[in-house]
Structure 1
């Protein structure tokens, strides 16, 4: 049972079945786990959310929620754009399921190359008919294929999964051509820089025209990667080239793919998404359940990474693996320091307004960091605590609540958080120009949804 704001522990609301090994990363003395379907969750209080595939709505997010973590790489079920507007960081777990997806891609390469699925279905029919023993050798010619060694694999998206696929494909004797217009330095360091059978191109058309297999590992970004593989790309591919999609279904224009097959192309499409009926019924299309991260190891890795990320953010204010906030880290603080975290609009003059409030209030700033990403700016500020003989009136404020109220009231500030004292306290958010969370245990407005 959750009582009031439960100031003694952080409350973590979970959707879906989160790996117990991941949840065990939360110290029960500091955290309480509240499943979304539990009685405790009905009280509408949570300081963080962990989820897998659940499609999050604003009514799912309590107004006191400081963070959302997706146990997986994709965050299209979290309405990141809206959470950014509200000043709530959304975290993911890049690389946690990379090995699991890589292994499924290797399986997909073999499914695309050999008549494995068709052969297995044929043998089932023969066993049912009682003719399997006499036909097993005679019928193998019906399911001939080709080897992948010596073939060219085009890898679109060179993040953790794309890099792992690249390394494995080279080890299997394939040539690899990679493409990623948003390649980061960190991702580049994971690539096989000295391999003779690997190169990176900036031309998507080159991959499509030269590859025997193309595998997709790009995120889905509306108006950017939607139908990344469309009519032009499919027309450039060899007739027998195979396409693998274990990333996002929307990356492929299925109407264009159907047109490709109507024109006589033979290469297979292997994916783990549902397809339109006409496409799903084709013999050279293999669709399996969305199994990319469905291994015990991947689920444990993702849950553990999400838990560690949320813990770090709640306890220190540092941000890593966020899809909408800048990576931000300030060195650990001694007990003589109070830490304040401020989320604000990223526009000229904001930092000056925030700093001037501290200055005019005679508050000594010991260290601070400011970082921005898109429309969001994030500040972590350490201020000196009053000495034993002083009180907060030294800072021209009657209370910490008064200081936080003044900070949150600055135009353009979205939320403020004091990391001091009880776990559940110290958070304020401004919605529709009204400040919630200061000096109250349970806000009148329970969630981020519009009233």
Structure 2
């Protein structure tokens, strides 16, 4: 929706944008790292977006999409408004620094949940039926020309158990945990789970007969299988080594622990002691020095999201999230900014967004600067998260020529102490962005 408003500063002010010959005016430039699914990239419509992949020059990128690339600050030009990770984890992105720079970092929770859930179900079977040992044995026999002769005779060496009727403990009941619990019940298992932060949305997806308990130790006690599905959080009160000696001491002797969340969640010393003492198993896609070659351990490559469907879903979600932010100022699924959604911009308005430090007086200074230019706010929302605040307001344009006022008010607000960046959204892609860089006005 365009109002006919012109807010762009002179092109001579754009010298800090990099190579202008490489910039397509009137389009958002998207830089990708890694091989991002074409299905997701197709969400960026060519009439509004210029997508740069691989080694393509992207000195003026407005947003970044990536998978596993370890992002450095040098990868992020001053023009970048947002970053999206095609996956749930963001440990390859310097999130605290991006927050200081006023850049929201998005992830894609749930996009790879089905792929990981299927891997957990596979792990239960691997931990029950000695499938890996059997495959290796048959390859060895085959190399000796004995496979056909021994295929029936040697099956007794690889006896196992069925998962039907067994108990699964699910630690963490978010997207993956809830799906795992539901499908495990469908396989005839008894399911119990623990999640102190269980959301209403996730709770509604749980099996009706599932037992919810109040601690990890209660969940793992008596369980035949244990699935960890919680985020890794460093520091005091975090989840580093949360599956430690106290929790492991409550494991059944033959319990199978499945960890497709993060290797650091498990105390390797405690787990090794458990594996040494009996027939319990550890199955994960995170190799640990003490555990990777243990006879009771099965370590896989990091396959959780390695399906075409998961890669397509994550890239599509990331692209939609970036589009919604660039085009509407909406924040959803950010790991460092507050969720913020203002209703659709009314006709005859421009949308003004402000990223600022969450300090007293900042909001008042912003609204004062707008009113001092004779501008009227039609609707507004202000949310904060930690040290950052995000403001979205729609400003009436019907009584203004739309040139001087918006340039002036943007510069005035951008240079307010504590403000990091501002953006005017009025229908022309890629324009209307300004930053306060160490007291210098960058546009």
Normalised by the size of structure 1, how large is the TM-score?
A: 0.90
CA distance in 1, matches of 2:22, 2:115: 41
Distance 1:202 1:5 in 2: 56
**Runs of 4+ with >6 A deviation:** none
Matches of 1:254 and 1:37, distance apart in 2? 40
Q: Structure 1 residue aligned with 2:271, among 257, 262, 266?
A: 257
Alignment of 1:195-274 (within 5 A): 195-196=208-209, 198-223=210-235, 224-262=238-276, 264-274=277-287
Q: Which residue of 2 aligns with 1:79?
A: 94
Aligned residue pairs, count: 423
2:55 aligns with: 37
Deviates more, 1:180-189 or 1:145-154: 180-189
Tell me the SS of whatever aligns to 2:318. Answer: helix
Distance 2:202 2:441 in 1: 40
Q: Which residue of 2 aligns with 1:96?
A: 111
After TM superposition, list the pairs within 5 Å mapping 1:287-302 onto structure 2.
Answer: 287-302=299-314
Shift of 1:3: 2.6
Moved more, 415-424 or 47-56: 415-424
CA 210–424 in structure 1, closer or farther in 2 if over 3 Å, else same = same
**Does the Cα contact within 8 Å between 2:274 and 2:280 map onto a contact in 1?**
no
TM-score, normalised relative to structure 2? 0.91
- Structure 1 residue 23 displacement after superposition: 0.5
> Match of 1:10?
28
Query: Which residue is equivalent to 1:306?
Result: 318
Superposed CA deviations along residues 75-121 of structure 1, whole A, max 9, x for unmatched, are 11112222122211111111111111111110001001110000000
Structure 1 position 164 matched with structure 2 position 164: no
Q: Does 1:418 align with 2:418?
A: no
SS of residue paired to 1:236: coil
Residue 435 of structure 1 is matched in structure 2 by 441
Q: CA deviation at 1:314?
A: 0.3
Cα displacement (A) at 1:247:
1.2
Q: Can you give the 5+ residue segments of structure 1 that lack an aligned partner in the other structure?
A: 438-451
Q: How far apart, CA to CA, are the structure 1 residues paired with 2:366 and 2:205?
A: 40
Deviations for 1:391-443, whole angstroms, at most 9, x for unmatched residues?
358xxxx4533211111111111211111253222112223333322xxxxxx
Looking at structure 1, the residues matched to 191 and 221 of structure 2 have their Cα atoms a distance apart, in angstroms, of 13
Q: Is the 8 A contact 1:342 1:417 kept in 2?
A: yes
- In structure 1, what is the Cα distance between the partners aligned to 2:197 and 2:233? 12
CA distance in 1 between partners of 2:428 and 2:68 (Å): 31
| Corresponding residue for residue 8 of structure 2 | none
Which residue is 1:107 aligned to?
Answer: 122
Residue 386 of structure 1 deviates from its aligned partner by: 4.5
1:316 deviation in Å?
A: 0.5
* Structure 2, unaligned runs of 5 or more: 1-18
Deviation at 1:348? Answer: 2.9
Task: Indicate the residue corresponding to 1:443 in structure 2.
Answer: none
How far 1:2 moved relative to its partner? 6.7
Following superposition, the deviation at residue 161 of structure 1 comes to 0.9
Match of residue 402 from structure 1: 408
Measured at CA, do residues 421 and 171 of structure 1 come closer, stay the same or move farther in structure 2, by a change above 3 Å?
closer
Is residue 220–residue 250 contact of structure 1 (8 Å, CA) maintained in 2? yes
